[in-house]
Amino acid sequence: MLRVLPFRAMPGLIECVPNVSEGRRPDVVDRLVAAVRAVEGVRLLDRTSDADHNRSVITFAGPPDPVEAAAHALVDAAIREIDLRAHQGEHPRLGAVDVVPFVPLAGTTMEDCVALAHRFGRAVAERHGIPVYFYAKAATRPERVRLPDIRRPQFEGLPDVIGTTHVPDAGPARTHPTAGALVTGARPPLIAFNIELDTADVAVAKRIAKEIRESSGGLPAVQALGFALTDPPRAQVSMNLLDTSVTSLARVWREVETRAVGAGTRILRGELVGLMPLDAALAVTRDALRLEGLARDRVIEAHFID
């Protein structure tokens, strides 16, 4: 039986945020989530699926050993359930379990998460015969710090470069026939944030994404891509905000809005994928309402948390 422990009773906490290449079959996502929930000592924090991206984000946390066990349970289940040869979606991907980041929370350090990512990745490679890449703080070479650089060839193109630019950090230099490859690493908390535009012209979203992302000379600590969504047709600017103390949600919204209006359209809505830190939400409120001095001690619930 699953026994959820109070977080304050735990010696140290790590968050894990796997992205899996399945967002259209709820029964499959249910079974992946069930594999995580079956691990004692792990708390499921969130699950988010997107049919257009054909991708789900599953967020859980706990002490290091249970979190590592839950990550393995998720990989085991995903390999049984997902065949990338039949997978299509808007979001780039290398694997059935595309990326497994570990994030330090209370009582743990980035170094703890780097060690965990290396141990986990090597174990996955040995157990399943999957090529594994280490990224972000766990990267072992500078060209593998950025996730988009690793994921650029995608599942279909990886076999062509796995013996040259994409020799894996662990595991065989060949893709798994149905599960592809896996990327794992350690990073600070990030915010996955999408903005939908009131237009079906994906070229507008792609142009805005290029202008605002750091790699094209845009906003620091921002990754962005433009996608076409369906039902109803509309364009989306999809972003990862790597450090909201450098570039805030409010600034990203303003920059996208300015460019959207300049292109003759407007923002329809924003979408948070997974979870976000409280401090980032407070920063948005401070900016929107010009509330100086708004901090955690002004939040009612914060006074009831040890």
Catalytic residues: 91
Q: Which two structure tokens, joined as six digits, stand for 102?
A: 């570990």
Name the burial class of residue 245, with classes exposed (0-12), middle (13-18) and buried (19+) by CB atoms within 10 angstroms of its CB. exposed
In whole angstroms, give the CA distance from residue 124 to residue 129.
Answer: 7
Residue among 63, 83, 75, 79 nearest 18 (CA): 75
The secondary structure element, H or E, covering residue 254 is helix 249-262
Residue among 112, 104, 113, 120 nearest 13 (CA): 104
Other beta carbons within 10 Å of 232: 6
What backbone torsions phi and psi does residue 192 show, to the nearest 5 degrees? -90, 115
